[in-house]
Structure 1
Amino acid sequence: MTVFPSKLRQSPLKTTLLYSALIGVLATQVVGCNRGIKPEAKEPVKLVKLAQPLAVLQPVLSVDVGSKGASSKDPLDLQVGYGEGRLIASSRGGVLSAHDTAGKRLWSVDLKEPVTGGVAYDVASQTAIVSTRSGRIIAVDAQSGAQRWVQQLSGSVLTPALIHNNRVIVSANDGFLHGLSLQTGQSIWQFATQVPAVSIRGSAKPTLLDNDTALLATADGRVHAIGIESGIPLWSRRIGLGMGSSEVERMSDLDAMPIVDQGQLYAISYSGQMIGVDLAAGQVMFVNEAASTRALAVAKGMVFATTLDGAVQAYNRTTGEPVWESKDLTYRQLTNPVAIGNYLAVGDLEGIVHIFDATTGDIVSRVQTKGALRSLQVQGNLLMAQSSSGQVAVWQVAR
């Protein structure tokens, strides 16, 4: 069943025609597995003490960037930028600061407005990008904190930018994807997407398909492939398919960033579809029933998910067959799963990071920071997180 062309750099018209056939094919596969798991106000499961915890992670640094000045309506999942021994983070209230690996503050600047999108850090140009509640995109010099440029958008941005090929790509909550000049902030292109009447407040971070193409997941359940330099749409695919009599029941948000790994694309929707696609072969590998707003992780021949009700699941990355499932963290408002070393890490509402044996699904270790966690980041052998209370923690795999 051909669904994705093996040659991605075809003309936009030809690519659009090739992809149009996928809409009906994919819809027939997911319509029967569309029950989805809707979040409910249920008590988080109590944790069971680990009998013999392993020493998997050791602390590198912990700094408090604060949370003063932020509204409770602002997103809690701010992310940090890291590179060449420098960590850049923003408080929810809008104080941007840089720290060395010992936690020493190198500089700090008050942006005078709450930050909603977290930090994107481009080491090559030494540029840090953040976005504010009012829709301002601000670029600062990563060495000094000096402001380089500001661009005002029509909507606020709730996730970090993608910086690539001299473009700053951001997804605004009014449905527009923007491509800005990394040097000046000038708007180079815009791409409009459909905005449903009802959706989850959140958005997926743009990510790379290849060196020339960005992927954007949107609130209407679609994944779009966009030319990074030109902003030309190459193809658009529906993944989330919500069903029901009300607009709430029909929500099909893709708030989880799509994952591309070794020529395979993985995505998961709020409405209950997880899909794996072999891009080179042009085939849908599987469509499973799983619902999440958190990005998937791929490692050890498996794809991992944290579901809306707090299950941690592992599937075979090519067949989609279940490998293991853990319900030890039910209703604990889990972060995205991330692979680090031979393990899988997942954070929760109490600032606890649970370390799973990726092969068996057993929890083998835990570490903790202060405040609820909404996302985890991995860079090399480092695990990073920023909590709702403004605590930034970095751990590394123990040797």
Structure 2
Amino acid sequence: MALGASLILACAGLIPLPVPPASQIDPEEAWLMLGKNPQHHHAVNRNVHPPIALVWKQRLHSVVTDHPLAFESYLVTALRNGNLAIFSLERQEQIAMDRIGPTMGHVPSIHLPFLFAGFNLGKHTLLALNLRNTQREFRRQYPEVTTSPIYWDRKLYFGTNRRQFFCVNARSGDSIWTFKARAAIHASPAIRDPLVVFADDKGNVYALDVSSGITFWQTSLDGSIFSHPVLDDSMVFVGTVSGLFVALDQKTGKVRWQTQLNGSIYSSPSLYQNFLYVGTNGHEVVALRKTDGSILWRFQTDGIVNTVPLSSPDYIYVGSWDGNLYILNRFTGKLIFKQELNSAVKSSPIIYQQYLIVHSANKHLWVFATEKFAREIKEK
């Protein structure tokens, strides 16, 4: 199907997308899951240099869960009200919108041609949607899905409000194995083979075998955990509502280091090279060395920061409940640029292709670029 033909039914519902096979998508470029990769680094290898300028914006009521997804020329946003909105970067407009479930608490995962979404309300709480033909591959009944469903090796992994953590077949939706945690699970899983790591609301962090669900280790921390863990090649990084930011050994679960921050941590960290960047309810963005947890710099905003900062080679891009998007020097934390968005930022920014994309709650999806690139686009 030609791209033009696929856009005829714009905004009336979902439309078939001429998406390529998953093997043809560059994982270094695309955003197909929470945090961009299974380890949730939320980092890119490209800058959008400030000053930035608006390319286009689109009104979007509700809140975008976690952050937008992006592949080919498409932006995909899952909203807390259960709607799925799809945009064309080429056309600079919304091309489809439909309600796919009651409510969504977290971003879906995409493994083309399928989009996998979890719902935290209703009877059927796990959905596989074929983006090529808009047909449901499956709808399955599970307890309320309270994490992002992560795709890995033809399987989906997700947590629920009834303490159960599931591994299911990504083609059928049938359960492969189940693990019972000590509390409800809102911290989305991260995967680094052979581990799947997640946390529960009572501060327990779990590392299970991705294939069997057998427990490798379990560690209890001080404070509830709602932020998803982030993995490098040897450690697990996670924050708690008590303001404790912790690094655990991936093999043993033992605490490597811990650092007390100002304010509860609902934001997950982004990881770029040897540094972590995390927001707090104390209105701060903090940079820490991943080797020992020492603080490199702090930056104060005028509002809560409970979204994941985006790290790039030279900058940190972070939204705050004060209604601003901040661009900071990654090495010093110095403010380089501030963009007013006029409402609280409750979704994380992403960089895709030449664009910096962010949503302000119940207002707009904003698409920015460098001033030069934005001017070139408008002159076409």
Between Structure 1 and Structure 2, how many residues are aligned? 319
Q: Distance in 2 between matches of 1:80 and 1:379?
A: 10
Q: Distance in 1 between matches of 2:64 and 2:352?
A: 24
Name the structure 2 match of 1:174. Answer: 162
Give the counterpart of 2:360 among 387, 390, 396.
387
Q: Distance in 2 between matches of 1:170 and 1:91?
A: 18
Give the counterpart of 1:186 among 171, 174, 177.
174
Q: Distance in 1 between matches of 2:247 and 2:216?
A: 19
| Pair 340,177 (structure 1): closer, same or farther in 2 beyond 3 Å | same
8 Å CA contact 1:118–1:160 kept in 2: the answer is yes
Could you tell me which amino acid in structure 2 is paired with residue 295 of structure 1?
S
Name the structure 1 match of 2:57. Answer: 62
8 Å CA contact 1:268–1:274 kept in 2: the answer is yes
The CA deviation at 1:269 is 1.1
**Alignment RMSD:** 2.9
Name the structure 2 match of 1:375. Answer: 347
Name the structure 1 match of 2:187. Answer: 204
1:229 aligns with 2:211: yes
1:163 is paired with a residue whose SS is strand
The CA deviation at 1:260 is 1.1
The CA deviation at 1:145 is 2.4
| Pair 219,286 (structure 1): closer, same or farther in 2 beyond 3 Å | same
| Pair 346,129 (structure 1): closer, same or farther in 2 beyond 3 Å | same
Give the counterpart of 2:231 among 251, 260, 285.
260
The CA deviation at 1:161 is 1.3
The CA deviation at 1:396 is 5.2
The CA deviation at 1:346 is 1.3
Unaligned runs of 5+ in 2: 1-48, 374-380
The CA deviation at 1:340 is 2.3
Could you tell me which amino acid in structure 2 is paired with residue 218 of structure 1?
D
Q: TM-score, normalization: structure 1?
A: 0.71
Name the structure 2 match of 1:316. Answer: 289
Unaligned runs of 5+ in 1: 1-53, 68-74, 197-201, 242-251
> What per-residue deviation string (whole Å, max 9, x for no partner) do you get for residues 205-263 of structure 1?
2111x23321112111121112223222222112x21xxxxxxxxxx111111111243
Residues 103-182 of structure 1 aligned to structure 2 (within 5 Å)? 103-111=92-100, 113-123=102-112, 125-134=113-122, 136-154=125-143, 156-182=144-170
8 Å CA contact 1:167–1:180 kept in 2: the answer is yes
8 Å CA contact 1:77–1:387 kept in 2: the answer is no
The CA deviation at 1:379 is 5.5
Q: Distance in 1 between matches of 2:101 and 2:270?
A: 35
1:225 is paired with a residue whose SS is strand
Q: Distance in 2 between matches of 1:121 and 1:176?
A: 23
Q: Distance in 1 between matches of 2:370 and 2:109?
A: 24
The CA deviation at 1:311 is 1.6
Q: Distance in 1 between matches of 2:219 and 2:304?
A: 32
8 Å CA contact 1:216–1:223 kept in 2: the answer is yes
2:331 is paired with a residue whose SS is coil
| Pair 269,101 (structure 1): closer, same or farther in 2 beyond 3 Å | same
> What per-residue deviation string (whole Å, max 9, x for no partner) do you get for residues 129-163 of structure 1?
24242261111112332211111112x22332111
The CA deviation at 1:189 is 1.6
Give the counterpart of 1:337 among 303, 306, 309.
309
Q: TM-score, normalization: structure 2?
A: 0.74
> What per-residue deviation string (whole Å, max 9, x for no partner) do you get for residues 60-102 of structure 1?
65333433xxxxxxx8745332223322223333222322223
Percent identity between the two aligned chains: 17
1:218 aligns with 2:206: no
Q: Distance in 2 between matches of 1:352 and 1:389?
A: 14
The CA deviation at 1:361 is 1.2
1:79 aligns with 2:67: yes
2:188 is paired with a residue whose SS is coil
1:169 is paired with a residue whose SS is strand
Q: Distance in 2 between matches of 1:186 and 1:269?
A: 32
Name the structure 1 match of 2:80. Answer: 92
8 Å CA contact 2:206–2:219 kept in 1: the answer is yes
